[in-house]
Amino acid sequence: MLTSPECYEHLGTKAQMNPPLRSKRHTVALWQALKDGIIDCIATDHAPHTLAEKNQPYGRSPSGMPGVETSLALMLDRVNRDLCTLPGKWFTGCQNLLQTLQDAWKRKN
């Protein structure tokens, strides 16, 4: 939600992650869905790897990147830009995530 595929040009496999980076059209739609209350929670896939691992060619380089340490600052910046609000989603984010996981667990078992 915070980057775009153009990052691949200068970051190469360092920008390789799952799900992959999406176009501006997709990120605008995601921010609008968050603002409209359609998205229940926000999470990061904190998956740091060494530079040696990330410098491998595509297909051999692992997906993922660090991000948990910057996620709060980046999201607060988005609040400041009026792309989302603070109280509604943020203070219930953990609760929403836990409820989503609990519901999924119940469906599986």
Give the pLDDT score at 92: 53
Residue numbers of the chain with a pLDDT score lower than 70: 1-3, 86-95
The model carries a pTM of 0.64
Give the pLDDT score at 20: 85
Instruction: Write down the catalytic residue from 45, 77, 82, 103.
Output: 45
Give the pLDDT score at 17: 87
DSSP string, 3-66: --TTHHHHHGGGG--SSPP--HHHHHHHHHHHHTT--------B----HHHHTSPTTTSPS-B-
Q: Is 45 among the residues known to form the active site?
A: yes
